[in-house]
Amino acid sequence: MPIFSARVMTAGPIDAASLLVQGRECGTCTMCCKVFRIPEVDKVAGQWCKFVVQGRGCGIHPTRPDVCRTFYCHYLRNPTLGPEWKPERAKFVLYTEMGGKRLVVAADPAAPSAWRNAPYYALFKRMALAGVARNHQILVFNGLRATAVLPDRDVDLGSVEVGDEVIYHSGRGTIDVELRRKAG
């Protein structure tokens, strides 16, 4: 019996500007301009956007795609995250999906295991444990390859595409993870 099932989404638009932590800004951080796929500007995941100006931001800021215009990483939205969580320093971007039920860690391909470093990994494990009762998930993406972070282990899900479903099952005191490919 699944305890939680959710389709993999894109880092789609949300109206989160009003949720930003006062005083936080992207500043020199452009990590989201690297880790995400942005079809509107022919940008592939894991490579720098051709419009990024390193250390300054988007070179086409006034005309950037809506997906870029409406994206705000979790660092900008969560006041409990310290400066070590800023994506340019952490080497990953955090965002939530499924109404906050899934935390996604989008890793910088130049530092694919940075999420396992202190203080990040210990917090992800604590969040995974607390999330079991609330049907929450933590997924780490290195390109299309995903890892489910569980309280007692990490599960490599392999390549995961938008529309695939990640299902958590409970049994015998443990959580199992199933990847169900999108239909058609």
> What's the pLDDT band for 13 if we cut at 50, 70, 90?
very low
Q: Tokens in use for 69?
A: 């215009």
Contacts of 15 (CB under 8 A, 6+ apart): 70
Each residue's pLDDT tens digit, 68-106:
998 999 999 999 999 999 999 999 999 999 888 999 999
Contacts of 117 (CB under 8 A, 6+ apart): none
Each residue's pLDDT tens digit, 144-162:
899 999 999 999 999 998 8
Each residue's pLDDT tens digit, 120-139:
999 999 999 988 888 899 99
Q: What is the mean pLDDT of residues 13-22?
A: 65
CA pseudo-torsion sign 23, 33, 159, 120: negative
Q: How far apart are CA 146 and CA 154, in angstroms?
A: 10
Helix, strand, or coil here: 124?
helix
> pLDDT: is 32 or 6 the higher one?
32
Cβ pair 94, 105 in contact under 8 A? yes
> What's the pLDDT band for 17 if we cut at 50, 70, 90?
low
Helix, strand, or coil here: 42?
coil
Closest CA to 150 of 164, 167, 166, 132: 132
pLDDT for residue 2 is more than 90: no
> pLDDT: is 118 or 176 the higher one?
118
Give the CA distances from residue 2 to residues 48, 133, 176, 179, 181, in Å, rounded to whole numbers and listed in that order. Answer: 38, 13, 9, 12, 16
User: What DSSP character marks residue 123?
Assistant: H
